[in-house]
Structure 1
Amino acid sequence: MHVLPYWRLSGYYFFYFAFIGAFSPYFGLYLQSLDFSAWDIGLLMSQMQLMRLFGPNLWGWLADHFGRRMAIIRLAGVIALAGFTAFFWLDKLPAMLVAMAVLAFFWSAALPLVETLTFDHLREDRGRYSRVRLWGSIGFIVAVMGTGAVLDLAPPVAVLWVCWGILVGILVLATVLPEVPSVHHAQATQPIGQILRQPRVAALMAACFSMSAAHGAFYVFYSIHLAGHGYSKTEVGALWSLGVLAEIAVFMLMARLSRRFSLRSILLACFAAAILRFLLMGWGVESVAVMVVVQLLHGLTFGAYHASAIAAVNDWFPGRAQGRGQALYSSLSFGAGGLLGALISGLTWDDWGAGWTFALSSSFAFAGWLLVWRWVREGSAADISDLKKTSDPVP
């Protein structure tokens, strides 16, 4: 009988998303302390999305063809840590671009492979996915709150030490994760090109691209936006944490929601929430109450959206195509979409201001809503049943 390595998988998610919790909200503030311009900050932070554009596809292809999934995950941990360590000595744009590219190229390799590893360990008990993934959200909250508190007392360079320690934790967990044979699917040999030609698949990928483009300015400039309007680092961390708490609540409710609503209906609601969220983010920053609403909407714009999208990808890319399917989801959405959003926001932030920059984010979300409305139809029962399995609540 197969025993799920629950704590090792959960621990990996904890540290992986803790890194995001320390890095995404606060590294931009560190770069600002080095007197980098908005364009420079956007360019540097966009390397995380740029490398996710093609890195996961390479690693997914290698894992699918050679079956060395854990070797790649561990190698990624080692080199990502080495790339980040260089930031302790660098303060010039060209060298920092190289270090960021190395960090992002190898760091981006891990999560799509860990997602497929988790589903293979779960086998037919996919309802336990949310119980494992939940620890990633907890790790994010711990990191974002802890780092915010540290930065209220210490200079911005302290974020380097926090992120470095978390990357060590990722590497340690990677060394103890056990491999498991991939689950066989009846359609295991279905060509990936044939899958991508399905209108629902192409539309979902394009919509995911739009959703990540909508979030580009948020991940690069939201903390700078709040700090510029008088919010303390602890308050910034609290607002980021509130968003993740909303995400956790939605994860716990997803099974109930998926029994009542179709995959298409859930996605339409998520994109509609994103349209509203980014408009409020840009124009309502003076109101703490509005910012609370903005972060509560994260439960839909990331939590319900991601649970729905990843379940669909896991079902629509069966067998040996799963690694590349998850890699495509990561690279086209978090990679290409996030890259476009980060670069555009870097160009518009100083000239247009925060309000119009986030309004542009809202327009990306609207484009995603149209794609889902037009092409992601009600379709097969498998679309919805896999969403139910993937999103069962934590008891």
Structure 2
Amino acid sequence: MKLLGSYYFFFFIAFGALYTMLPLYLESKGLSKQQASSVMAVGPVVTVIFQPIWGMICDRYHAQRKVLISTLIAAATIGLVYTFSDTYPLYLILFAGMALFHSSGVPILDSISLSYTQRNGGDYGSLRLWGAIGFAVASWGAGLIAERTDLSVIFYLYAGAMIACVLLTRGLPQEQTHLGGNMLQGLRKLVFIPRYLLLMSSTFLVFGVIQANNALYGFFFTAIGGTVAGVGLSFLIAAGSEAPLMFIAGKLIRKYGMIPVLILAATVSSLRWIFYSTEPSSTLVMWLLFVQGISVGLYLPASAQFIREVTPKEVQFTAIGVYSAVGHGLGAMTWTMVGGVIADKYDIFTTYRLLGVASWLGVCVLITLFFVNRRHRGGNRA
């Protein structure tokens, strides 16, 4: 359990250092908001393609640790090369390469953690919270260091954290799955599970927007008078608030059910984006950042557990891989690109107005899922 928690910690240190500061780094190199957003969006594009593939490879060959070691070394190497880039096409290509390789981490680690906790006891949320802590610490630290030195420091933090994960990989438990037939058979099975498809739709709308905020928040916060260090501090507060909610997520899910917890998380997230669209003061924004703990801290463990419940065991690596690709990939790609275009054409506050509407649609999908699931379970709570 401790090793899994450490893995989440270092893996999300890499994400926290890179994703929160890269838009500002790109803007400092002369890129427009639309160009910077398109660079951020190319990562999710690649994730959409490769994250399910990593999951299927692990299902088919039981090669979780080998995949992690090779892909994370490659990601760290490209991260170091990134500092030598100086053109928009290079920024796009190299970030796509980083995303290609580090996209293996989330679905594999989540699947290993869920299998381990189900077999040996424990709570997935209490493991996942270490990722939130790592993301928070890295965001804050990267902001402080970057403001005092240079924004390029984020790539060294990213590479160092990835190498730390590589060193921890040999100790990960080797969870076995059993796949029958062709690797694509898992995708065919998932297409015929309505509850899974509804969750994917809500994840695209709700969690995709949350991921887009990670790319767009720096533009928003500086637009309301905040500083680069303030951006890092914001992510410390927001991501740090996820940890205690992830710690108690299991209790809330057992008491109220998975879908009601998902609806609560999505509703809070939607209200947050509508609030941002009103051009609030930076002080008020900082005070209310803790609500991210309710949205992300509850949505991640509840959705992961729901997937384990509604999908066959032999395709669960693939199911989680597709889920991660939809939320961290397709959804993030769509809303980041759309948000960047709108921010350049209008302003960042109009962008957040749109993100709020998209999240509300995600709430509606989850309400539909609640009734579909209740009918499927014969009136029993999920």
- Alignment TM-score, normalising by the size of structure 1: 0.88
Q: 2:333 aligns with which of 336, 339, 344?
A: 339
2:340 maps to amino acid = G
Alignment check: 8 A CA contact 1:53 1:331 kept: yes
What letter matches 2:151 in structure 1? P
Q: Distance in 2 between matches of 1:9 and 1:381?
A: 36
Shift of 1:60: 1.1
Residues 236-271 of structure 1: per-residue CA shift (max 9 Å, x gap): 222211112221121122233223323222222222
Preserved CA contact (<8 Å) 2:23 2:216: yes
Match of 2:182 in 1: none
Provide Cα deviations, 1:46-104, integer angstroms capped at 9, x if missing partner: 12211111111111111111111211111111111122122121111112211111110
| One-letter amino acid of the counterpart of residue 367, structure 1 | L
Match of 1:357 among 319, 326, 351: 351
Q: Unaligned regions of 5+ residues in structure 1, if any?
A: 1-5, 185-189, 386-395
Partner of 1:156, secondary structure, is coil
Task: Give, as a single letter, the amino acid of the residue that structure 1 aligns with 2:31.
Answer: F
Q: 1:142 to 1:93 in 2, by over 3 A?
A: same
Aligned to 1:202: 197
Which is further off, 140-149 or 33-42? 140-149
Give the 3-state SS of the residue equivalent to 1:15 in structure 2.
helix
1:285 aligns to 2:280 (yes or no): yes
1:241 paired residue number: 236
Alignment CA distance shift 1:319-1:260 (3 Å): closer
Report the counterpart of residue 162 of structure 1 in structure 2: 157
Residues 28-61 of structure 1: CA distance to partner in whole angstroms, max 9, x if unpaired?
A: 1111110111111011111221111111111111
Alignment RMSD, CA only? Answer: 2.4
User: In structure 1, how many angstroms separate the alpha carbons of the residues matched to 2:212 and 2:190?
Assistant: 31
Q: TM-score, normalised by structure 2?
A: 0.91
Correspondence for 1:101: 96
In 1, Cα distance between the equivalents of 2:152 and 2:71? 24
Contact 1:263 1:383 in 2 (8 A): no
Instruction: State how far apart, in whole Å, the 2-side matches of 1:354 and 1:381 are.
Output: 45
Moved over 6 A (4+): 381-385
Is 2:4 aligned against 1:9? yes
Q: Give structure 2 stretches of 5+ with no counterpart.
A: 180-184
Instruction: Find the aligned partners of 2:367 and 2:87 in 1 and give their Cα distance.
Output: 46
**Of the candidates 54, 64, 71, which is equivalent to residue 69 of structure 1?**
64
More deviation, 365-374/151-160: 151-160
| CA-CA distance at 1:285 after TM superposition | 3.4
Q: 1:136 is matched with which residue?
A: 131
3-state DSSP of counterpart to 1:124: helix
Report the identity percentage.
21
| Secondary structure class of the residue paired with 1:376 | helix
Whether contact under 8 Å (2:76, 2:158) holds in the other structure is no
Q: Offset of 1:183 from its aligned partner? A: 8.6
- Spell out the pairing of 1:260-279 with structure 2 (5 A cutoff): 260-279=255-274
- The answer as to whether partners of 1:17 and 1:139 remain within 8 angstroms in 2 is yes
The residue correspondences of 1:256-335 to structure 2 (distance < 5 A) are 256-293=251-288, 295-335=289-329
- Partner residue of 1:388? none
Deviation of 1:383 (Å): 9.2
Quote the residue 2:52 is aligned against: 57
- Conserved 8 A contact 1:120-1:183: no
CA deviations 1:153-180 (Å, max 9, x no partner) are 1122222222222222222222443424
Aligned partner of 2:87 in structure 1 is 92
Q: Distance in 2 between matches of 1:376 and 1:311?
A: 15
Give 3-state SS (helix, strand or coil) of 1:35's partner: coil
1:153 has 2:140 as partner: no
Matched with 1:193 is 188
CA distance in structure 2 between the partners assigned to 1:194 and 1:178 by the alignment? 27
Aligned length: 376
